[in-house]
């Protein structure tokens, strides 16, 4: 008999699905809205995510981070460029009014307007789950906590 052969055995039981979320240093960034998506959290709660690309030069250039909002309801199917209704006293209306002023028709949004501007946003690290459990450092990720102003 010959010498024992060494072979690599693939021993994983599961795989991670989806992209690993980006982790940026907390602070203010120049952002550009790329798109938005509507979805249902846990299949129930209607949500809106605005997806921004980082414009600051450096290693984080082009990274994509989201600002998530509660909305009252979704109009049609959830997905990219989905339609929604947002509460008049909610965070989306406050952010929109701070950046662009409220539209003539208070019952409508034109998120396309945000694509034409550079937005200064505060990015923060998510360190806790919704049930207040601490996330392991390897599973922490960045989100936009606040849309501060438009770049002059």
How do residues 22-81 score in pLDDT, each as one tens digit?
999 999 999 999 999 999 988 889 999 999 999 999 999 999 999 999 999 999 999 999
19 belongs to a structural domain: no
Range of the domain at 135: 27-150
90 belongs to a structural domain: yes
Sign of CA dihedral 67, 34, 77, 140: negative
Radius of gyration of the chain (CA): 20
Residue 55 CB contacts under 8 Å (≥ 6 apart), including other chains? 29, 30, 31, 32, 61, 118
7 belongs to a structural domain: no
Predicted confidence (pLDDT) per residue in 9-25, tens digit: 667 788 888 888 899 99
Decide: residue 57, CB within 10 A, 0-12 exposed, 13-18 middle, 19+ buried. exposed
Helix segments in 4-146, DSSP class H: 91-100, 112-115
d(CA 40, CA 42): 6
Instruction: Judge contact between 33 and 119, C-beta under 8 A.
Output: yes
Average pLDDT over residues 86-110: 82
Strand stretches in 21-71, DSSP E: 27-41, 45-54, 64-70
8 belongs to a structural domain: no
Number of domains in the chain: 1
15 belongs to a structural domain: no
Tell me how long the chain is. 152
DSSP 134: B
Average pLDDT over residues 117-144: 95
């Amino acid at each position: 008999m010959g010498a024992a052969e060494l072979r690599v055995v693939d021993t994983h039981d599961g795989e991670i699905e989806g992209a690993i979320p980006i982790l940026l240093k907390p602070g203010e960034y120049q952002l550009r809205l790329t798109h938005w998506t509507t979805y249902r959290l846990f299949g129930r709660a209607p949500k809106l995510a605005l997806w921004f690309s980082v414009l600051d030069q450096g290693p984080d250039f082009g990274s994509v981070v989201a600002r998530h909002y509660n909305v009252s309801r979704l109009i049609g199917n959830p997905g990219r460029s989905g339609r929604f209704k947002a509460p008049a006293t909610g965070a989306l209306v406050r952010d929109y009014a701070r950046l662009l002023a409220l539209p003539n028709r208070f019952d409508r949004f034109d998120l396309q307007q945000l694509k034409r501007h550079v937005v200064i946003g505060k990015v923060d690290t998510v360190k806790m789950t919704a049930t207040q459990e601490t996330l392991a450092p390897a599973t922490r990720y960045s989100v936009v906590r606040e849309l501060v102003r438009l770049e002059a």
